[in-house]
Amino acid sequence: PDGTYAADGKYLETMEQHCIPCKTGKYCQGGEYSDDNRCDAGFFCRAGAAIPNDKNMLCPAGFYCEEGSIKPTKCSNGTFSSAGAKSDKDCTSCTIGYYCPEGTTKKIACPEGSYCPLGA
């Protein structure tokens, strides 16, 4: 079934339990595996993915997922994402007066008496 493949592309086994789950970061359709079948940017693919953009594997807020991601990556310190980003460049820079720790989903107001420059 989709999400699995047969070893060496051979269909020698007739029972579904002998199918191999697709590798992380990839998706498999029609019982075949290809290194070119990477999950879409903005998504990550667990083992056994059947499509490149499963809504259950949507990159979460505070993270980015490049094409072929096997797991979400946190947006860097000084940036945030309110929705899953496709690359680190899609994480938004924190504005003056706010700070953004790694993996932040929204900018946080700078504490009174503190200084928070652009990208804090």
**115 CB neighbour count, 10 Å cutoff:** 9
- With 0-12 / 13-18 / 19 or more C-beta atoms within 10 angstroms meaning exposed / middle / buried, residue 105 is middle
> Could you tell me the pTM of the whole model?
0.86
pLDDT at 6: 83
Both structure tokens of 22: 């697709």
> Of 34, 33, 39, whose CA–CA distance to 52 is shortest?
39
Per-residue pLDDT of the chain (120 residues; tens, 9 = 90+): 899 998 765 555 556 667 899 999 999 998 889 999 999 999 999 999 999 999 999 999 999 999 999 999 999 999 999 998 999 999 999 999 999 999 999 999 999 999 999 999
pLDDT at 35: 93
pLDDT at 84: 87
Distance CA(119)–CA(104), nearest Å, equals 12
What three-state secondary structure class fits 26?
Answer: strand
Distance CA(29)–CA(18), nearest Å, equals 16
